[in-house]
C-alpha cells in the first residue's frame, strides 16, 4: 500500500524530505510552498527552494496566499490525498483545512518536542547550548506544534557545529524519519503520544536586533550566537563606522573591559567573561576573509572599544 501525499514546505531544509518521499513507494500528487518573491535589486522573481526542486521532479506546485478560503479547501478535497506532510511551510494551517475528513496532517519538526515549539528551533537550541536536538514527526493540531508525537530521533550538538551544518544533517534525518513514520501508519502500528505540557519551551522567530553582538555577554553566549546565526542573519559589530560580520571565532581566557580589543594582532576582544578571538569575518560589502588578511588593510589598536 502506498499513500497519496500532498507536500507543504518552503526553504532548503524541506528539500531532502521532499526528495526522500519522491524516492519512496508513495506518490506526491502536489506541492504547496510560499509564493515567489521579488529580490530587492532588479526585482527578479525568485522561487522557493522547494518550488525549484518540485519543478525538477515535474510535480505540480501551488502557492496560495490564503489557505482558509473555500476555493483552497475545496481544491485540497478534490485532490483526495491520504496524508499531508508539512516541513517548514511558513504558514499556520487554518482549522478549516485541518478538519477535512479522512485526511491526516503530519509535521516534520526540527526539535525534540515539547522543547522548542515554534519558528526557530535549531537556532534556539544552539543559542541555549543544548547538548542535543532532533526531529519529531507529529500530528498537526490547531495549537502551534502541540500535536501528539509519533516518532523522534536525536542528534548531538557539538560545540563547534553551526546552524548551516546541523540543519543539513537534520533535514537528511527528517527524510529517513518520515518514511519510517509512514510505514508505521501503513502497518497500523502508529502510536501518537501526547506532549508533556509542563516541559514546553518556545523558539520564537529570530529578530534582526539579536544579531548585533553585545560584548557585555559572556564569550560562550556570543560564540553560540555566531554559530546559531551562520550564515544568516549573521552576528556583527561596528568597527570604525563599518559593520563587521563574524563567521568563525574561538574563546580565550583573557580579561578586560567588555568590547575592548585586547590583542590587535590576533583580534582578541574582551567580553563580560573571557574573550573572543575572531578567526574569520566579512566586512560590509566585501568578501569573506581570514582575520590575518583583514588586519593587513584595517588598523586596530589595543584598548579600542568596539560597539
Q: Which residues touch 174 (CB under 8 Å, ≥6 apart)?
A: 16, 17, 20, 87, 108, 110, 135
Residue 1 pLDDT class (50, 70, 90 cuts):
confident
Q: What pLDDT score does 298 carry?
A: 85
pLDDT at 285: 84
pLDDT tier for residue 43 given thresholds of 50, 70 and 90: low
Cα(98)–Cα(140) distance, integer angstroms: 8
Q: Would you tell me the crossing angle of helices 15-22 and 49-56 to the nearest 10 degrees?
A: 20
- Between CA 22 and CA 5 the distance in angstroms is 10
Beta bridge partners of 139: 106
Give dist(CA 77, CA 69) in Å, integer: 13
Average pLDDT over residues 21-27: 98
- Integer Cα distance of 3 and 8 in angstroms: 15
pLDDT at residue 38 is higher than 80? no
Q: How confident is the model at residue 307 (pLDDT cuts 50, 70, 90)?
A: confident
Does position 209 have pLDDT exceeding 90, yes or no?
A: yes
Do residues 71 and 97 make contact, with C-beta atoms less than 8 angstroms apart?
no
Please check whether residue 26 is in contact with residue 33, taking contact to mean a CB–CB distance below 8 angstroms: no
**CB-based contacts of 7, cutoff 8 Å, min separation 6:** 17, 18, 21, 28, 30, 31, 32, 50, 54, 59, 84, 85, 87
Distance CA 54, CA 7 (A): 10
Residues 6+ apart with CB under 8 A from 99: none
pLDDT band for 187, please (50, 70, 90 cuts). very high
Residue 6 confidence (pLDDT) = 98
Say how many CA atoms lie within 13 Å of 157 toward its Cβ: 25
Interval 11-20 mean pLDDT: 98
* CA distances, 111 to each of 97, 145, 226 (Å): 24, 10, 20
* Res. 41 pLDDT band, cuts 50 70 90: low
| pTM score of the predicted model | 0.94
* Cis check: omega of the bond before 83, within 30 degrees of 0: no
Q: Maximum Cα–Cα distance for the chain, whole Å?
A: 69
Distance CA 298, CA 132 (A): 39
Confidence band of 42 (pLDDT split at 50, 70, 90): low
Domains of the chain: 4-203 (3.40.50.170), 208-297 (3.10.25.10)
Residue 251 pLDDT more than 80? Answer: yes
Amino acid at each position: 500500500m502506498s499513500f497519496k501525499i500532498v507536500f507543504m514546505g518552503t526553504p532548503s531544509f524541506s528539500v531532502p524530505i521532499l526528495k526522500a518521499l519522491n524516492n519512496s513507494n508513495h506518490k506526491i500528487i502536489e506541492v504547496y510552498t510560499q509564493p515567489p518573491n521579488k529580490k530587492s535589486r532588479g526585482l527578479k522573481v525568485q522561487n522557493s527552494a522547494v518550488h525549484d526542486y518540485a519543478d525538477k521532479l515535474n510535480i505540480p506546485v501551488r502557492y496560495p496566499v490564503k489557505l482558509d478560503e473555500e476555493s483552497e479547501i475545496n481544491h485540497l478535497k478534490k485532490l483526495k490525498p491520504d496524508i499531508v506532510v508539512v516541513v517548514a511551510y511558513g504558514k499556520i494551517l487554518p482549522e478549516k483545512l485541518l478538519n477535512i475528513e479522512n485526511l491526516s496532517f503530519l509535521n516534520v519538526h526540527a526539535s525534540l518536542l515539547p522543547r522548542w515549539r515554534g519558528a526557530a528551533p535549531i537556532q534556539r537550541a544552539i543559542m541555549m547550548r543544548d547538548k542535543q536536538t532532533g526531529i519529531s514527526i507529529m500530528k498537526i493540531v490547531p495549537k502551534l506544534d502541540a500535536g501528539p508525537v509519533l516518532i523522534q530521533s536525536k542528534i548531538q550538538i557539538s560545540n563547534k557545529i553551526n546552524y548551516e551544518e546541523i540543519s543539513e544533517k537534520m533535514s537528511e534525518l527528517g527524510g529517513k524519519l518520515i518514511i519510517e513514520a509512514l510505514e508505521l501508519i501503513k502497518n497500523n502500528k502508529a502510536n501518537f503520544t501526547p506532549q508533556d505540557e509542563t516541559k514546553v519551551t518556545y523558539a520564537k522567530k529570530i529578530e534582526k536586533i539579536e544579531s548585533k553582538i553585545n560584548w557585555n555577554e559572556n564569550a560562550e553566549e556570543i560564540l553560540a550566537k555566531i554559530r546559531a546565526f551562520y550564515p544568516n542573519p549573521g552576528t556583527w559589530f561596528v568597527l570604525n563606522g563599518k559593520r563587521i560580520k563574524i563567521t568563525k571565532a574561538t574563546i580565550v581566557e583573557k580579561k578586560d573591559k567588555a568590547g575592548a580589543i585586547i590583542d590587535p594582532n590576533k583580534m582578541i576582544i574582551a567580553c563580560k567573561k573571557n574573550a573572543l578571538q575572531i578567526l574569520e569575518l566579512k566586512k560590509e560589502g566585501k568578501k569573506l576573509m581570514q582575520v590575518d588578511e583583514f588586519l593587513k588593510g584595517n588598523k586596530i589598536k589595543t584598548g579600542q572599544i568596539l560597539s
